[in-house]
Amino acid sequence: MQFETWTQPLAELPVDCVAVAVHDDGELSAEAKTLDLRCREKLSRLVKRGDFTAKPGETWLVTDLEGVRAERVLLVGLGARNAGGKEDLSRKAWRRAVGAAVSAATRTRIASLALALPRPGLKALSDERFGRAVAEVAGNTLYRVNDLKSAKKPRAHALARVVVPATAKSAPSIKKGFGQGAALAGGAALMRNLANLPGNVCTPTYLGRTAQDLAKTHKSLKVKVLGPNEIKREKMGCFLAVTQGSDEPPRFIVIEHRHPKAKNAPVALVGKGITFDTGGISLKDPPLMDEMKFDMSGAACVMGTMNTIAELNLPLNVVGIIAACENMPSGRAIKPGDIVTSAAGLTVEILNTDAEGRLILCDALHYARRFKPSVVVDMATLTGAIVVALGVHHTGVFSNDDALAREIVDCGLVTDDRAWHMPVGDEYGDQLKSNFADMANVAGRDGGSCTAAAFLAKFTKDLTWAHLDIAGTAYQGGAAKGSTGRPSAMLLEFLLRRAAAR
Ligand code: BES
Ligand code: MN
Ligand code: ZN
């Protein structure tokens, strides 16, 4: 897919299709009005007749409009005006319209599509972020799940070129954004592909091989994959405890992106890579257990993001760290009450084997120390409790540095990949008291996502650290079951800012 900008009049654009927007009160957008004047108001008559009601995401294809060079004009519904509050057009409605236009085009023979849609929320959506969002939404719309269905795949679409309006001044920034958005969509697709794969295909070994493939494609990446013996040598007792009940060997994956011009102490991204979470001896209930194949979404996001920054050759040093294993019940599995020693030397009483994410993460976070990172961000589908607290709309952000948490929340705001600041503190940490070890791996039911974060905080005391609980946001259940690619967009914004400030 190619992205371009244009500056000539809309009616003269040499493309297969021009997409223009209509509000559901029947009013044409400014761009649609320009075309309408050329064709003796055929578009307004069409809308007045009521066939096209301009609901959000609705589209209507008109062909051979007099006075318009493009053979097709696609009307795209924006829904109610002001639905987004202060802005005339919410970014949510705009994203929906871009997605609908691209999706409609893929169902035709349209090869080049001009998006002549109004631009929303100009303040937060700089030219660069506008270009990024166009390429991101287009890329995410074109994403097709790598399903394992035996039927032949449907015919490929013709859409190869998407163009948006620009001025001489805005064009360079928009184009820069295109590059970022395309790389972002590529990384998010990698994340989604990995997360959507079933546990019997996407094993820890598979994740390790995928990482090694990344290093083959990108010169800036160096990859190291540790197996069981090397993990033992690192004394990762908590990680080893989780994997011991499984027949699949664990993998500890380190992906380094180095840029010759970057002088920063690396940003460390740590991902939870449980390729299937049965709960272990504290076995989960059968309903929805299949969704626990998504329990490696954090790891998948690290992998996708490393791909994105390598693609962009971001002038920033970044290290991705992934602990990957299964959580299974077996005769060799850990039992409630077992006490193990983490790589950091702290002992943990495992009261619930289903609280395994924090066990693999505490050893991965400890490993991150050796890179003397400027900041550590871990991503994990860590708790069901975060879904109770925030639903599926916000990622939970926990940090031992309020400024860092605020930075991450802001990155989520401007990329429509939102996050919410959650508390960590000694009160929560104290709930993890154990009679027999330095700490227990679970507290009571109350504040479950906060006590999970507080567990991790015990291992990150002298690091600048943030934890993203993505259990509610990384994948969807129900009819649209599948990985969402979140929080790739928010994370890229975070890294772009770090690269700019370096
Ligand atoms: N992977 C789960 C968290 C999860 C739950 C993610 C639902 C997505 C949807 C995690 O390993 C887990 O099982 N957490 C337990 C913790 C509890 C035992 C303290 C949970 O949330 O129930
Ligand atoms: Mn679990
Ligand atoms: Zn889990």
Q: For ligand 1, atom 7, which residue shows the shortest CA distance?
A: 384
Contact of 207 with 299, CB cutoff 8 Å? yes
With cut-offs at 50, 70 and 90, classify the pLDDT of residue 286.
very high
What percent of the chain is modeled with pLDDT above 70?
98
Strand partners, 61: 74
Nearest atom (ligand 1) to Cα of 445: 19
Residue 89 pLDDT more than 80? no
Tell me, what's the pLDDT at 155?
A: 85
Catalytic-role residue among 119, 284, 481, 497: 284
Tens digits of residue pLDDT in 366-405:
999 999 999 999 999 999 999 999 999 999 999 999 999 9
Question: Mean pLDDT across the stretch 205-212?
Answer: 98
Question: Mean pLDDT across the stretch 197-223?
Answer: 98
Residue 85 pLDDT more than 60? no
- Return mean pLDDT, the chain: 96
Q: Which of 291, 354, 449 to mutate to test the pocket of ligand 1 (most atoms within 8 A of CB)?
A: 354
Tell me, what's the pLDDT at 382?
A: 99
Tell me, what's the pLDDT at 86?
A: 58
Contact of 189 with 485, CB cutoff 8 Å? yes
Tens digits of residue pLDDT in 28-38:
999 999 999 99
Tell me, what's the pLDDT at 123?
A: 60
**Residue 127 near ligand 1, beta carbon < 6 Å:** no
The pTM for the full model equals 0.97
With cut-offs at 50, 70 and 90, classify the pLDDT of residue 231.
very high
Cβ within 8 Å of residue 192, ≥6 positions away: 143, 145, 300, 304, 482, 483, 484, 485
Question: Mean pLDDT across the stretch 33-52?
Answer: 95
Q: Which ligand is nearest to the CA of 350?
A: 1
Q: Which domains does the chain have, with CATH numbers?
A: 2-147+156-166 (3.40.220.10), 183-500 (3.40.630.10)
Question: Mean pLDDT across the stretch 293-298?
Answer: 99
- Please tell me which residue, 155 or 399, carries the higher pLDDT value: 399
Say how many Å lie between the first and final Cα of the chain, rounded: 31
- 390 CA from centroid of ligand 2 (Å): 19
Question: Mean pLDDT across the stretch 465-474?
Answer: 99
